[in-house]
Chains A and B, each alone.
Chain A
Amino acid sequence: MPVVVDLVPGPAFKTLDGGEIESTVETDTDVNGRWSLPLEQSSNIDPSTSYYRVREMIPQVKGGTRTWFFRVPGTNAILHDCLVAPSVANAIVRPTIVTSTTRPSTPFVGQIIFETDTGKVLYYYGSTVGWQPAWNSEWGEIANIQMTAPFTTQSTSYVDVPALTNNSLFTAVAGRRYLTTINCWVAVTGGVGNLFTRIVKADGSTIVRDQAFQNSTATAWLDNCYYESRNVETAGVQGRRFQINVSVGTVTGQIDANASHPANLTVYDVGPSAAPVIT
C-alpha cells in the first residue's frame, strides 16, 4: 500500500545548514500494513511551524485514504505518539467533485462538495438545513422582482403593487439574516397630497419597513425611493409585498417605472443570525 509523506504548509529548510528538505517522500507498507521512514526532526525545520502530513493510500473498498498530521521528535517514535491537530488553514479538505444531480446519497455533517455544473461549493449541515454554502458567509441575492410599467392608485388605504408582490418569493433558512431593499421612483399628481409606502410580509400586515413621502405645497412632485430592512425569518417559504396609498383620494399616487428606470424589490442573504440547526 503506498504511503505519501509531505511537509505542510510547503517548502522547508534545515535550520542547521539551510539545505532544502525533500518536500515529498513515498514508501510502501509491508504485508502487515507497517511502514517506516527517516524524516528530518521538526526541531531542525525552518519554518518551525511546519509539520508533516501522511496519506495512506488505502483502497476505497477498504475505507479510502487516511490522512494524519504529525511532528517528528528527536528520537525514534511511533506515529501515534507524534500526531498533532492541523491548523485551520491547513486543514482545508478537498471537496468531493460531483454535479447537482449526483450529490452524495449518504452525506455526513461537514462534508464538502464541489458541483461542476453550478460551480457551487456546498457543505452538508444535516437533514434540516441540507447542502448550503459556508454558514458564516453571505449567500448573496436570493430573490428579485422587477416592475417596468407604472402603477397608480387613489386608494387611501394600502394596496399591493402587483408587479412588486410575491407571496412565495423565497425559502428562508432558520438562523439566517435577510435584507430586503426597494428602489423606485415615486410621484403624486393631481393636487397636494402625501404618498405612503411599505414592504410587508406575505400576510399583508407584518411590516418589514415603511416610508412616507410628504409634501405640503406642491400639486405634483417626483421623488426617489430607496430603503432597506434586515430581518430574521422562520424557516420556509416567505413573501414580500410592496404597498402604497395616498393621503387624500383626490390625488394620484404613482410608482413610476419603465425599462430605463425599473422598480426593484430584492432580498439578500447577509449572513447568519444563529448557529445552523444540525439534525
Chain B
Amino acid sequence: MTYVDPFFTFADPGIVDAGGPVAGVYPYGFYPADPYIGMAIFDSTFGNVLYYYGPILGWRPNWGTAWGFVTDIQLASTYAVTTAEADITGLTVSWTAVQNRKYLVRMNIRYSSAPESIGTTVVLTDAGNIHKMEQTVSVQGTSQNKGKELTLTERYLAYGSGTVTRKGRASKSAPADTKNLGPDNSIDVFDLGPFGGPAYLPLSACLWNSSTWNSCSWS
C-alpha cells in the first residue's frame, strides 16, 4: 500500500476538472442497478453513450438527436407483379417504435420490365394493407422506365410504443403485360428524432360506465 497525501488538494492541479461526479464506464449487461433519470454511462462493449430515461424507456441515446438506422430489408429476388394488389414477396419490416419519436420509412423499388404499355403501382402499406404511400408509373409505348428507381417515403410519428410493420405491395392495370420489380427492392427505417418529450410512465387509461364508473388502470 502507498499513502496518498492530498496536501495540495485545493491548488489548481492543471488537469481537467470534471465539474461534477464522473459517469461510469460499464460493459453491456452490467449497467448500474440503481440509475436515476438523466444518468449517463459509457457502454464499453458497443461504445455508446447512453442516458437513463426511467424504467419504461431504459437506457437510450440522447433523446434530442436522431438515432439513425433502425432496420431494413433488401431482397435479391425479382418479383412479378400481379393484376390485383399483393405483397411483394419478402418485402416486410417490423420494428419497435418508441413513443414520441419520428421515423422515416423509405422503400426503393427497381422497375425492371421493358417495354411497358401502362402503369404499375407500388404501395407502401402497414400490416393491414392500409396505404401509407403509393406511386404509379406510366409512360406509354416506351421502355424508358426499365431500371428506373422508385422511392417512396413515409414520415411516421409514433404516438404510442409498440411493433410497427411496413410492407411493399404492387399491382398492374394490364393483365397481359409482364411487369417485374427488382432485384434489390428494399425498405429502410430510420429514427429521425423526437417530436415530443420522453414518456417516462405508461399513459393512464380510464374507462367507466354507470356501474363501475371509477375503474381505472395503467395501460
- Measured CB to CB, the residues of A under 8 A from B are 3, 8-10, 33-41, 53-56, 64-70, 72-80, 82-86, 89-97, 111, 114, 116-122, 133-134, 137-141, 144, 146, 181, 183, 185, 215, 217-224, 226, 260-262, 264, 266, 268
List the A side residues contacting B197 at CB < 8 Å. Answer: 117-119
B40 touches A134 (CB 8 A): no
A–B Cβ pairs within 8 angstroms, 26 of them? A3-B6, A33-B10, A41-B2, A65-B20, A67-B18, A67-B21, A77-B3, A79-B7, A79-B13, A86-B16, A91-B18, A92-B49, A93-B22, A111-B19, A114-B37, A119-B53, A119-B194, A119-B197, A138-B68, A139-B65, A140-B192, A219-B140, A221-B140, A222-B138, A224-B150, A260-B131
Interface residues of B in 36-71 (CB under 8 A from A): 37-42, 44, 49, 51, 53, 62-66, 68
Contact A138 B66, CB 8 Å, known A76-B5, A91-B22, A95-B38: yes
Query: Distance (Å) between the CB of A113 and the closest chain B CB?
Result: 9
List the B side residues contacting A139 at CB < 8 Å. Answer: 64-66, 193
Choose, from B89-97, B151-159, B161-169, B179-187, the stretch at the interface: B151-159
Other-chain contact of A121, B13, B19, B63 (Cβ < 8 Å): B63
List the A side residues contacting B44 at CB < 8 Å. Answer: 9, 89
List the A side residues contacting B151 at CB < 8 Å. Answer: 183, 224, 226
Q: How far apart are the CA atoms of A39 and B4 in the complex, in Å?
A: 7
B15 touches A85 (CB 8 A): yes
List the B side residues contacting A66 at CB < 8 Å. Answer: 9-10, 17
Of A9, A10, A261, A268, most B-chain CB atoms within 10 Å: A261
List the B residue with the shortest CB-CB distance to A138. Answer: B66
Q: How far apart are the CA atoms of A222 and B148 in the complex, in Å?
A: 13
- Measured CB to CB, the residues of B under 8 A from A are 1-11, 13-26, 37-42, 44, 49, 51, 53, 62-66, 68, 102, 104, 119, 131-142, 148, 150-153, 155, 191-194, 197-198
B24 touches A10 (CB 8 A): yes
List the A side residues contacting B155 at CB < 8 Å. Answer: 141, 144, 146, 264, 266
A141 touches B66 (CB 8 A): yes
B21 touches A94 (CB 8 A): yes
A217 touches B141 (CB 8 A): yes
List the B residue with the shortest CB-CB distance to A11. Answer: B30
Contact A94 B4, CB 8 Å, known A119-B63, A218-B139: no
Q: How far apart are the CA atoms of A35 and B11 in the complex, in Å?
A: 15
List the B side residues contacting A69 at CB < 8 Å. Answer: 15-16
Query: Distance (Å) between the CB of B36 and the closest chain A CB?
Result: 8
A89 touches B42 (CB 8 A): yes
Other-chain contact of B65, A79, A114, A137 (Cβ < 8 Å): A137
List the B side residues contacting A39 at CB < 8 Å. Answer: 1-4
Pairs of residues from A and B, 8 with the lowest C-beta to C-beta distance, nearest first:
A140-B66, A119-B63, A140-B193, A120-B64, A80-B8, A9-B25, A114-B38, A119-B198
List the B side residues contacting A219 at CB < 8 Å. Answer: 140
A40 touches B133 (CB 8 A): no
Beyond the given pairs A114-B38, A119-B64, A221-B140, 20 more chain A to chain B contacts, judged by CB atoms under 8 angstroms and listed by A's residue number, are: A40-B1, A40-B2, A67-B17, A78-B5, A80-B7, A83-B13, A89-B44, A93-B40, A121-B51, A137-B62, A139-B66, A140-B192, A141-B66, A141-B192, A185-B136, A217-B141, A221-B138, A222-B137, A226-B151, A261-B133
Query: Distance (Å) between the CB of A107 and the closest chain B CB?
Result: 12
Q: How far apart are the CA atoms of A264 and B150 in the complex, in Å?
A: 15
Query: Distance (Å) between the CB of B145 and the closest chain A CB?
Result: 9
Query: Distance (Å) between the CB of B208 and the closest chain A CB?
Result: 30
Q: How far apart are the CA atoms of A261 and B124 in the complex, in Å?
A: 9
A133 touches B65 (CB 8 A): yes
Contact A114 B51, CB 8 Å, known A33-B9, A97-B37, A260-B133: yes
B9 touches A56 (CB 8 A): yes
B68 touches A92 (CB 8 A): no
List the A side residues contacting B41 at CB < 8 Å. Answer: 92
Q: How far apart are the CA atoms of A277 and B15 in the complex, in Å?
A: 25
Q: How far apart are the CA atoms of A53 and B38 in the complex, in Å?
A: 21
Q: How far apart are the CA atoms of A153 and B191 in the complex, in Å?
A: 35
Contact A93 B18, CB 8 Å, known A119-B197, A133-B62: yes
Of B20, B41, B42, B137, most A-chain CB atoms within 10 Å: B20
List the B side residues contacting A56 at CB < 8 Å. Answer: 6, 9
